Structure 1
Amino acid sequence: MRKVALITGSAKRIGRAVALHLAQSGWDLALHFHHSETAAAELKKELKHINSRGTYRLFQADLNHVPDVESLISNVISVFAGLDLLVNNASVFQPGTIQDTSSMLLQRNLQVNFIAPFILTREFAIHADNGVIVNLVDTRVRKNSFSHAAYSLSKKVLWELTQMSAVELAPAFRVNAIAPGAVLPPEGKDETYLNTLAESTPLKEPAGLKPVLQSLSYILENENLTGQVLFCDSGEQLL
């Protein structure tokens, strides 16, 4: 029986790369999106070219809207008759120091980056007998950088959830995290931006997407691994 993965925020950037990677490995995919329906549909077509035997379904949900989040897992299971892997990838990344962060900005970051993964983790554990959860956090979980205060705090709490749920949900579920650094340039920037940032890291090379996908494969293949975080940041977290 083919395995099924749900990827939140699957239409773009890291989520899209994860979807392509898992499709190549033979997974059936539940592709979550919010506003990016066109990009998600294009991804679905590309996945069919990569692996025509795979089943790929689109699931729209607003992670800011709790009822959408609470129904997502059950909706996926009703279509696929099961779920084996949850990748909590979707996130918002907005600048703002603590003093500059409005209550609305704080709430949005916490809702999408932490509360939604919390609910999805809970619902996965309730509706499935076993499985694997991978949370996309950030190299900032080891730092106290305040340029994106709400974002950084939400990812720190998500890392704490990773460890706590790894204990509570074992042995049926394994829960781990991947912490990327600057693996993709933000909108309006190019590879030069990444190269400049990489100069301040120990390895002095942009991490790129490859280490993220390699880390995902390692988590899936190592059945004794839980409650851990794999950094993909060229050593940035060491500084």
Structure 2
Amino acid sequence: MTSPGKILVTGGAKRIGAALSTALVASGWKVVLHYNQAAEDAEMLSRELLAKGGLVETVQADLANPADLSSLMDQATKTGPLDAVINNASLFSYDDSRTVSAGQIDQHMAVNLTAPALLTRALFDQMPPDRQGAVINMLDAKLFGINPDYFSYTLSKAACHTLTQIAAQAYAPRVRVNGIAPGIVLPSGGQTEAEFRRSHKRNLLGQGAQIKEIVAAMQLLLDTASITGEVIILDGGAHLQPPARDVAFL
């Protein structure tokens, strides 16, 4: 078990990241809340959590910038070592097999693969010898029911899935590395609310994942000392009947 200590949540100020940060503070974790451009959201969430007695720090960094990435870990550990990292921040920009470019691939890989890889290594390097750390990589259920939409994004998330497995091997037993792969949870890719509700139900169970279920999966992976190298898929079974297009277009 990785007991509540200090945890870095990348992209922790908005959407799913904000829900994870809020739940972690409520569970007794000291949260280092990372943001890039969402300064106002980070400030508002930080004030809200501090007002409830939570322990929160905020830190800005562009995860595609190597200098910022190095500085992020320095700032996050300034007041003591980290016990865990949630690699939640993600670049999600549309391209397909005909529009994919070197620039798109590089940008997605920088945020969705390189940053998680280097933050995982940095966590391992600073772990006290008497502690076991944990990393959770936020993946995507589409990796298990593949389609070619969001071409560069999908490549980068597939690479992060592989990172989850090899990092679990490389950093054991000091750091456990796992993943959560949600299906559609919030409106995505410019969907209307009606389109989101339809796509959210397009799965075997007739209901998609809820944010509270992602929070529960996160808590399970943090609390269970015998789990490493695993990915929890939360998509109502949609990956077992994959569509030809991304759910954003259905």
Q: TM-score, normalised by structure 2?
A: 0.90
Residues matched between the structures, number = 236
Question: Structure 1 residue runs of 4+, over 4 Å off?
Answer: none
Instruction: Give the direction of change, closer, same or farther, for the CA distance of 1:203–1:191 in structure 2 (3 Å limit).
Output: farther
Counterpart in 1 of 2:34?
32
Secondary structure of 1:57's aligned partner: strand
Instruction: Give the direction of change, closer, same or farther, for the CA distance of 1:190–1:218 in structure 2 (3 Å limit).
Output: farther
Instruction: Give the direction of change, closer, same or farther, for the CA distance of 1:99–1:188 in structure 2 (3 Å limit).
Output: closer
Secondary structure of 2:239's aligned partner: helix
Counterpart in 2 of 1:131?
133
Counterpart in 2 of 1:222?
224
The answer as to 2:117 corresponding to 1:118 is yes
Counterpart in 2 of 1:66?
66
Counterpart in 1 of 2:171?
169
Gaps of 5+ in 1: none
Alignment-mate amino acid for residue 91 of structure 1: S
Alignment-mate amino acid for residue 205 of structure 2: L
Relative contact order (alpha carbons < 8 A, sep ≥ 6): 1 or 2 greater? 2
1:3, 1:84 within 8 Å by CA — same for their partners in 2?
yes
2:83, 2:123 within 8 Å by CA — same for their partners in 1?
no
Counterpart in 2 of 1:20?
22
Instruction: Give the direction of change, closer, same or farther, for the CA distance of 1:215–1:2 in structure 2 (3 Å limit).
Output: closer
Deviation (angstroms), 1:191: 4.2
1:139, 1:179 within 8 Å by CA — same for their partners in 2?
yes
The 5 Å alignment of 1:30-179 reads 30-50=32-52, 52=53, 54-79=54-79, 81-129=80-128, 130-179=132-181
Q: Deviations over 1:128-148 (max 9, x none)?
A: 233100000000221331110
Instruction: Give the direction of change, closer, same or farther, for the CA distance of 1:22–1:190 in structure 2 (3 Å limit).
Output: farther
Secondary structure of 1:122's aligned partner: helix
Secondary structure of 1:78's aligned partner: coil
Deviation (angstroms), 1:123: 1.1
Q: Distance in 1 between matches of 2:96 and 2:208?
A: 26
Q: Distance in 1 between matches of 2:211 and 2:126?
A: 31
Q: Distance in 2 between matches of 1:190 and 1:208?
A: 18
Gaps of 5+ in 2: 242-250
Counterpart in 1 of 2:245?
none
2:164, 2:178 within 8 Å by CA — same for their partners in 1?
yes
Deviation (angstroms), 1:88: 0.0
2:33, 2:59 within 8 Å by CA — same for their partners in 1?
yes
Deviation (angstroms), 1:63: 0.6
Q: Distance in 2 between matches of 1:191 and 1:206?
A: 14
The 5 Å alignment of 1:4-19 reads 4-19=6-21
Deviation (angstroms), 1:195: 2.2
Counterpart in 2 of 1:206?
208
Q: Distance in 2 between matches of 1:118 and 1:217?
A: 22
1:194, 1:206 within 8 Å by CA — same for their partners in 2?
no
Q: Deviations over 1:13-43 (max 9, x none)?
A: 1110100110110111101000111110000
Q: Distance in 2 between matches of 1:49 and 1:112?
A: 31
Deviation (angstroms), 1:187: 6.4
CA-atom RMSD, angstroms?
A: 1.5
Counterpart in 2 of 1:3?
5
Deviation (angstroms), 1:188: 4.6
1:96, 1:146 within 8 Å by CA — same for their partners in 2?
no
Counterpart in 1 of 2:244?
none
Deviation (angstroms), 1:72: 1.5
